[in-house]
Amino acid sequence: MADERKMNDLDELFRKAKKLEAPDTLWKKVSDGVSETQREKPAFSLGETVKSIFAPVWVRAAVPLAVTAAAIAIVIRLSATTTVPEIYDAETIAAVNEAISEAYGENGAFAEHPSYAANGLAKEDINEFINEQLNEIYRINGGDNNA
């Protein structure tokens, strides 16, 4: 009986305590903060596509790491003007081979391309994205990039 009363008292306290509202001043603080805040860049949307469609193809075909990176670079470039299924149907491995020189250039660095900027991507974004994808492919591939 005493326990039940204790519970009822507590429940009554909780029931009555639901009426707080945010102070009027809060939205002003939030909106001021929002207007001064630099937003994070959206996650690059091709990530899931690369993982679900391209990576398995490359793994099955035992495509070497460097070629895989080049392929990702060309996927990013082509995505500015065409759709993923069109790329996929056009013999991925051949595209990979063609991509090597363009993606890497003469000095081994990823080449600049106007479509990167058109997509709001800096060279660093591309490198970061490719690194993420390579790590994922490495994981899918059982930790062996040359498999």
Partner 1 sequence: MSDEAQIVEKARSGDTAAFKSLYDKYGRFVWSVAFRMTYDFDEAEDVAQDVFISAWKSLPGFRGVSAFSTWLYRITVNHTINRVKRRRITKELTDETLRHVLDSGVFMRQNPAAAADELDVEKRLAALLNRLDADRRMAVILREIEGLSYEEIAEATGVPIGTVRSRLARGRKDLEEMAANGG
Task: Looking at residues 28 to 67 of the shown chain, list those that interact with partner 1 (rule: CB under 8 A).
Answer: 29-31, 33-35, 37-43
Q: How many residues does the chain have?
A: 147
Q: Is 124 among the residues that bind partner 1 (CB under 8 A)?
A: no
Q: Is 3 among the residues that bind partner 1 (CB under 8 A)?
A: yes
Task: Report whether 98 contacts 13 (CB < 8 A).
Answer: no
Spell 71-107 as b/e; 16+ CB within 10 A means b: bbbbbbbbbeeeeeeebeeeebeebbeebbeebbeee
Q: Is 147 among the residues that bind partner 1 (CB under 8 A)?
A: no
- Residue 73 half-sphere exposure, CB side, CA atoms within 13 Å? 27
* Site mask for partner 1 (CB under 8 A), range 77-106, x = bound: ------------------------------
Report how many residues bind partner 1 under the rule CB under 8 A.
Answer: 34
Q: Is 26 among the residues that bind partner 1 (CB under 8 A)?
A: yes
**24-29 long-range contacts, CB within 8 A, separation 24+:** none
Residues that bind partner 1 in the complex, under the rule CB under 8 A: 2-3, 6-7, 9-11, 13-14, 16-27, 29-31, 33-35, 37-43
